[in-house]
Amino acid sequence: MGRAGPMRGVWLGINQGTVCFLLLSCFEALCRVASSIPPLHFLSPPCTRTRSRVGLFLDRLLSGLRHPSFWELPAKPETMLTLLALASVVLLGIVPEQSQAIVIYTGWERHALLGSDIRLSCSFFSWRWTSEDVTFSWTYRPDGSRDSISIFHYTGGAAYVDNKGPFRDRVEFVGNPGRRDGSILIKNLDFNDNGTFTCDAKNPPDIVGRPSSVRLLVFEKVPIQAGVITGAIIGVVLGLLVLIVVIYYLMRFLVARRVFSLSVSKHGKKKKEGSQQRQGPVPPADPSKIKV
Amino acid sequence: MLLILLGVLIMHLIILILLIVSTAASTWSVGGDTSTDLWYSCMTSNGGYHCKPASSEDWIQAVQALMILSLLFCFFSLIAFVFQLFKLVKGGRFFFTAIFQILASVFVMCAAIIYTVMSPNDGATQFGYAYVLAWVAFPLTLISGLIYIVLRKKE
């Protein structure tokens, strides 16, 4: 389809509007249906109280649907035309546009220990089926340098690894081209391997794409990511706070209910004797606590 | 009565501002032309103002977390104070406010203690004003919390 520029914006706008409208009406319809089922009657006040425009439209539509004459063709030509236009807009808008670009995914940054192995993953997304001429190629650019050298190439069903450069005998192909995976494994990392690795994949005839890069950082000792401990401490304390508040209100609610059931039923007194003994001193203090 | 209420509220706001400044300002340790804090360590060399993220060791992250938590709890106690001001029964105590304020003071104390003990001490680095503010905020918060415990809502 390949519309570009302002036309595409208008098209997307119409599409979004229709999808939103459909979603809203589906939600309203579901709410009404759910509130009519006996166990879910509690849904009916909120569902029917909000008389949104979508709800009013739905009401009219449903009442029209129930009318027997609605189902007799021919209907008025204007309504048929509008319905047809609406349906076509929806269908044509929802079907995604086939853009011919291939999208390549790698990581953003990878951390590794000195002397370890690392797997650099690369996969792509393309609208075409994976062809047999799919190619993957990895290039490496050291930190602080401007030249990149090629260290891996997969084409025609065979993988060619670096046999002259800095990664000689250290690169291994661990990907699966049939599953669009072009990952490589680099063994025995050194500090000189710090740099940017770029993966470029081509899936003929889908060849237009932007290569994606992953940055490799080699450490002697992998440092704790900044903010992990901070986040953990904050999360734990706030979680405990929420838990304590919830338990406090729950206890108040439960004790309130027990007070209520105490006055109603004296039969269960013997059964609840054990717990009542514990709760004994609490109820007199409760009315003042409840008001707080 | 209104005067006490106003005084307590103003003190709470001052404490909140102190905590915000102490957490966000970048001068917990100063030495020469470098100033470090919880988040960045910046140095003014002849090239300009260079900042790099502060050392991501465990204790700095703990201090960060505790300062943020104390700030959050002070804020929560302010909200609880305003809420309880309108909803409390006559003669009731500002329970939640006091608890949150005292927790905030405990957290500030822990953060300041951890920073004092663990900060690298060479002769050149002194403690900056943000550090002093944190230590000042601790007794203020404690006093404010104790006032909230004693305070009652009268007619």
Q: Is the pLDDT of residue B83 over 80?
A: yes
Tell me what the mean pLDDT of segment A141-165 comes to: 88
Handedness of CA A241, A243, A249, A252 (dihedral sign): negative
The ipTM (two decimal places) reads 0.79
Kindly state the helix (H) or strand (E) to which residue A231 belongs, with its residue range: helix A228-264
Q: Is the pLDDT of residue A230 over 90?
A: no
Query: For A178-226, how does the pLDDT look when each residue is reduced to its tens digit (9 = 90+)?
Result: 888 888 999 989 888 889 999 999 988 888 888 999 999 888 877 777 7
Domains of chain B: 2-28+56-150 (1.20.140.150)
Answer whether B58 sits within 8 Å of A229, measured CB to CB. Answer: yes
Give the closest-approach CA distance of A256 to chain B in angstroms: 18
More reliable by pLDDT, A228 or B153: A228
pTM of the complete model: 0.51
Phi-psi group of A131: left, alpha or beta (phi > 0 → left; psi -120 to 50 → alpha; rest → beta):
beta
Answer whether B65 sits within 8 Å of A225, measured CB to CB. Answer: no
Tell me what the mean pLDDT of segment B46-58 comes to: 74
Query: For B124-142, how does the pLDDT look when each residue is reduced to its tens digit (9 = 90+)?
Result: 778 888 889 999 999 999 9
Q: How many CA atoms lie within 13 A of B112 on its CB side?
A: 22
Q: What pLDDT is recorded for position A203?
A: 87
CATH topology of domain A101-219: Immunoglobulin-like (2.60.40)
Query: For B86-122, how does the pLDDT look when each residue is reduced to its tens digit (9 = 90+)?
Result: 888 887 788 889 999 999 999 999 999 999 998 877 7
Phi-psi group of A165: left, alpha or beta (phi > 0 → left; psi -120 to 50 → alpha; rest → beta):
beta
Judging contacts by C-beta atoms under 8 Å, the chain A residues touching residue B85 are none
Closest chain B CA to residue A226 = B56
Place of tokens 């290569």: A211
What percentage of chain B's residues is helix, strand, coil (to nearest 5)?
65, 15, 20
Distance CA B44, CA A84 (A): 69
A125-162 burial by CB neighbour count: b if 16+ within 10 A, else e?
Answer: ebeeeeeeebbbbbbbbeeeeeebeebbbbeeeebebb
Report the interhelical angle of B2-24 vs B95-118 (nearest 10°).
30
Indicate the residue type of A113: L
Answer whether A230 sits within 8 Å of B62, measured CB to CB. Answer: yes
Is residue B16 less than 8 Å (CB to CB) from chain A? no
Tell me what the mean pLDDT of segment A49-58 comes to: 62
Query: Domain residue spans in chain A?
Result: 101-219
Q: How far is CA A291 from the centre of its chain?
A: 44
Q: Is the pLDDT of residue B123 over 80?
A: no
Distance CA B132, CA B112 (A): 9
A interface mutation test: which of B56, B63, B97, B107 has the most A CBs within 10 A?
B56
Q: What pLDDT is recorded for position A42?
A: 66
Is residue A237 less than 8 Å (CB to CB) from chain B? yes
Distance CA A143, CA A197 (A): 10
